[in-house]
Amino acid sequence: MKKLFRFLIAGGVGFVVDAGVLHLMLWFTPFGPFVGRAISIPSALLATWVLNRNFTFGRSNRSLAAEGFRYGSVGLTSALLNYGLFSSLLISAPSLRPIIALTFASAAATAFSFFGYSRFVFRHRQNP
């Protein structure tokens, strides 16, 4: 339970980074929500990797490059799921505010991310 709680905190920070960057992109650039989200997702992914690595799960037994690749793989898959749902919601309900679509899409990707990160990225090998 402790790891799940910490994961949700790290995810909350990632959500704030994602939403903050998206908001800045919408406010200060001519980019729309789709391009803005393509920029905000990697920003959030980097923030959550640092937090999950140091606060939630601890460093894995893998090299930094291997851990980063695995984290990126799970994160990219989760981000595609998140972005696909985000886009689908905005296309199917054009009057929906982007931040609401972001909230639903992020919530849907959370379970997938926790499972992937805890089992594939940060799972510590058992000593024989």
- Give the tens place of pLDDT for each residue, 13-55: 998 999 999 999 999 999 999 899 899 988 998 999 999 999 9
Question: Residue 58 carries which DSSP code?
Answer: -
Predicted local confidence at residue 95, as pLDDT: 95
* Total structural domains within the chain: 1
Predicted local confidence at residue 15, as pLDDT: 87
Q: Which domain holds residue 38?
A: 33-54+64-121
Classify residue 26: in a domain, yes or no.
no
Average pLDDT estimate for 109-118: 89
Predicted local confidence at residue 85, as pLDDT: 94
Percent of the chain, pLDDT > 90?
60
Rg (CA), the chain: 15
Tokens read off for 109: 């990707």
Classify residue 73: in a domain, yes or no.
yes
Classify residue 90: in a domain, yes or no.
yes
